[in-house]
Homo-oligomer: A and B are copies of this chain.
Amino acid sequence: MTRETSSLTTIHRAFEILELLWELDGAGPTELANRMDLPDSTVYDYLRSLSDTKYVTRENGTYFLSSYFLTIGGKMKHRNRLFQVAKPEMKRIAAETNELVGLTIENDGIAVVFHQEEGKQALSLGTHPGAATPLHTLATGKAILAYLPDERVDEIIAERGLEQRTDHTITDVDRLKDELAEIRDNGYAVDWNEQVTGMGMASVPILIDDQVLGSFGIVVPTGRIQDEQYQQELLRKLQEMEETVTINYQFGE
């Protein structure tokens, strides 16, 4: 038989089960079998194999995603050079500003909060390390988009679209491109109410020989970011941080 998508069904199903285990926060063969429209015994075979790996745990009859995901995620961060040099700086700025300081990267066309340091009165709801959002819906994402090659930007837009998050989200391609050009002119990005109403952020890209490795951002309540003077102060701190990190990043190599 000819293959439609040359994708191994076994793998496809295995990861579908992971997804379901995640969504349901643990489940047994029958429940999964119903959702996937497969015999119980087949799902059982999968679960058995999966719990041989470190990724799935069996606890008296029901199966769960194990905390190995946390472990891998943690190690990914800690062996990452950018994280290593950025962390102390982020901690410092978080302490100085008392706000929420984040390091965002791009992966597969979406923005992922790679690390976060919270100042004492930091806005706590909303983002957290690992949080994934469309790139065009927040300053940190746009700061990255602005410095990605043009064809890559088109690719991402084609694949992901321009989903609307709040009524401030940019959903028009041309308007987005204009804003990206503007970001390149300024060297920074600022937004409010685009990702979450009531929340705003300022962001600068992290550039190493013309490559965007990610972006730094500071998250603050919309009101505060609209204060021109405060915004400038935050941007100054971000730029200062970016410079230090860029130097340290290259220094160690």
Interface size classification for chain A: 35 or more
Q: In this assembly, does A229 line the interface, its C-beta being within 8 Å of a C-beta of chain B?
A: no
Quick one: which of B6, B68, B112 contacts A71, CB cutoff 8 A?
B112
Residues facing B in A102-161 (CB within 8 A) are 105, 107-108, 112-114, 118, 120, 128-132
| 0 or 1 for each of A59-101: is its CB under 8 Å from B? (1 = yes) | 0000001111111111111110000000000010001000000
Quick one: which of B15, B48, B108, B129 contacts A74, CB cutoff 8 A?
B129
Q: Is the CB of B73 within 8 A of A12?
A: no
Q: Is the CB of A76 within 8 A of B72?
A: no
Q: Is the CB of B15 within 8 A of A53?
A: yes
> Roughly how many angstroms separate A12 CA and B50 CA in the complex, as a whole number?
8
Q: In this assembly, does A2 line the interface, its C-beta being within 8 Å of a C-beta of chain B?
A: no
Q: Is the CB of B11 within 8 A of A46?
A: yes
Residues of B within 8 Å of A71, CB to CB, are 73, 112, 130-132
Residues of B within 8 Å of A52, CB to CB, are 5, 7, 12
Q: Tell me, rounded to whole Å, the shortest Cβ–Cβ distance linking A19 to chain B.
A: 9
Please give me the residue from chain B that is nearest to A91 by CB atom: B118
Binding site for B on A (CB under 8 A): 5-8, 10-12, 14-15, 22, 25, 45-46, 48-50, 52-55, 57, 65-79, 91, 95, 105, 107-108, 112-114, 118, 120, 128-132
